[in-house]
Amino acid sequence: TLGDRMAPPVGDRDALMAHPAQDRSNHQGVVVRLNDDGTVPDDNPFVGETGILPEIWSYGHRSPQGLAIHPITGDLWESEHGPQGGDEINLIEPGNNYGWPVVGRGANYGAFGRPIHVGISEEGMTNPTNFWVPSIATSGLMIYSGDKFPMWVGDIFSGALAGEQLARVHLDDEYRSVVLEETLAYDMGRIRDVRQGPDGYIYLAISDRQAGPTPIVRLEPAD
């Protein structure tokens, strides 16, 4: 929850229709923030604005895959799929526009990769904190707070489907900007989700490339 509120993401569904993620009169391509009973918090950024759904917390997203609250700062972080290139990790701020489909680093699917965006940045639109070109197909998101990997406390972890890896994103001392990004647990299969267990270890949900058993893998510190 975000400030004792729920914040589920909603994808853009761009494969089926024109990109509507800049239209705040619908739920496509947004993160919404609700009270536990489903009502809209009074301090949401668009409450009282005509033609805008008041539950919207942020917009301009393509295909959100993971949300996590930072255990130290309380900030909301999100991962999302780009099209052909341009997967993102975003620091979600209330009312911000994250640009899809106006800006980004991907292209339409297909051999020719027809351009989608006008560029990689635009005034009034928030750039991603981290991005991948080519795409890794981000999946579940976790921010570590346990005691088994003390050097990773506050770091962001994202699974990857096409990339078949676990990505670790290390943030600066303010936990807002990326210092480095590295690949862990490479070529184990499609990592569907990553979670920190109550024991402080990191757990991965993996789907096998051969459609066999779907293991849960526990990561432990090296001796």
Cα–Cα distances in angstroms (integers) from residue 73 to residues 22, 123, 152, in the given order:
28, 27, 15
> Is the separation of the CB atoms in 138 and 79 below 8 Å?
yes
Per residue in 125-175, pLDDT tens? 999 999 999 999 999 999 999 999 999 999 999 999 998 999 999 999 999
Residue 141 exposure: Cα atoms within 13 Å on the Cβ side: 24
Q: Taking the CB of residue 119, how many other CB atoms lie within 10 A of it?
A: 12
Residue entry with tokens 């027809």: 114
How far, in Å, CA of 75 to CA of 68, rounded? 8
pLDDT, tens digit, 9 for 90 and up, residues 24-43? 999 999 999 999 999 999 99
Could you report the per-residue pLDDT of 76-114, keeping only the tens digit for each? Answer: 999 999 998 999 999 999 999 999 999 998 888 776 667
Give me the residue spans of the domains in the chain: 1-127, 136-223
Region of 70 (left: φ > 0; alpha: ψ -120 to 50; beta: rest) is beta
pTM tops 0.75, yes or no: yes
The CATH number of domain 1-127 is 2.120.10.30:
yes
